[in-house]
């Protein structure tokens, strides 16, 4: 009944950019779980991690997941890279994994005009080796949860959004 599309995938893979393009192509309404958390808490994710720790942040994600499952429909939901760990993700909607390899994801961030800001705001991207280990640990978990997998390596957002809409509608 809820007919949501929920975008999952590693930090920097392009969930936000793809969500904006899907909105452009389809007119769907979109929300972002990190944005909801920052407005609810009136502080940045970086600040939340630094002051309260990661467990506190994960708990906020869980609360948002229950709200999404019970009260949101016909919406494109982009999530933070660790949001997939909430209970019953597939109760929220069709789960779409945006996937690539770690090197391409990291290069995408580094080559962005706002690279410094993009790296700085993500506490779990500070140590490159740890981030890569996290990617390797999460990849099979992402794949297990996904109803649809889209490879985004070296592809334009237009093309990715088109594929997503074709596979989800
Ligand atoms: C996280 C990803 C971030 C943000 C937080 C934790 C993660 O979102 O939710 O820093 O655990 O992968 P993005 O995937 O948008 O960077």
- Give the distance (Å) from ligand 1 centre to CA of residue 114: 17
pLDDT band at residue 1 using 50, 70 and 90 as cut-offs = low
Q: Contact 104/154 with Cβ under 8 angstroms?
A: yes
Does residue 35 carry a pLDDT above 70?
Answer: yes
Residue nearest to atom 16 of ligand 1 (CA): 11
Work out the angle at residue 141's Cα, subtended by the Cα atoms of residues 128 and 47, and round it to the nearest 5 degrees: 50
Q: How far apart are CA 160 and CA 137, in angstroms?
A: 25
pLDDT digits (tens, 9 = 90+) for 50-70: 999 999 999 999 999 999 999
Distance of CA 159 to CAs 2, 18, 53, 81, 111, Å?
26, 10, 37, 22, 20
Q: Residues of the chain with pLDDT > 70: what percent?
A: 99
Q: Contact 95/147 with Cβ under 8 angstroms?
A: yes
Ligand 1 pocket mutation pick from 122, 130, 135 by most atoms within 8 angstroms of CB: 122
Q: What is the pTM of this model?
A: 0.96
How many Å is the maximal CA-CA distance in the chain? 42
**pLDDT for res 169:** 77
Write down the mean pLDDT value for the chain: 96
The 3-state DSSP class for residue 156 equals: coil
Q: How far apart are CA 148 and CA 145, in angstroms?
A: 9
- Give the distance (Å) from ligand 1 centre to CA of residue 99: 15
- Give the distance (Å) from ligand 1 centre to CA of residue 14: 12
């Amino acid at each position: 009944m809820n007919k949501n599309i929920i975008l999952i995938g590693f930090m920097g893979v392009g969930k936000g950019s793809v969500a904006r393009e899907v909105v452009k192509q389809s007119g769907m309404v979109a929300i972002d779980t990190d944005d909801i958390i920052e407005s609810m808490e009136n502080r940045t994710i970086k600040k939340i991690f630094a002051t309260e720790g990661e467990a506190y942040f994960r708990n906020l994600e869980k609360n948002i997941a229950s709200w999404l499952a019970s009260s949101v429909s016909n919406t494109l939901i982009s999530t933070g890279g660790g949001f997939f760990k909430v209970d019953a993700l597939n109760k929220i909607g069709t789960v779409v994994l945006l996937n690539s390899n770690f090197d391409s994801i990291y290069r995408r961030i580094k080559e962005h005009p706002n690279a410094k800001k993009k790296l700085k705001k993500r506490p779990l991207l500070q140590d490159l080796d740890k981030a890569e280990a996290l990617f390797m640990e999460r990849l099979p978990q992402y794949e297990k949860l996904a109803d649809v997998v889209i490879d985004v390596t070296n592809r334009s957002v237009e093309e990715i959004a088109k594929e997503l809409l074709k596979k989800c509608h």
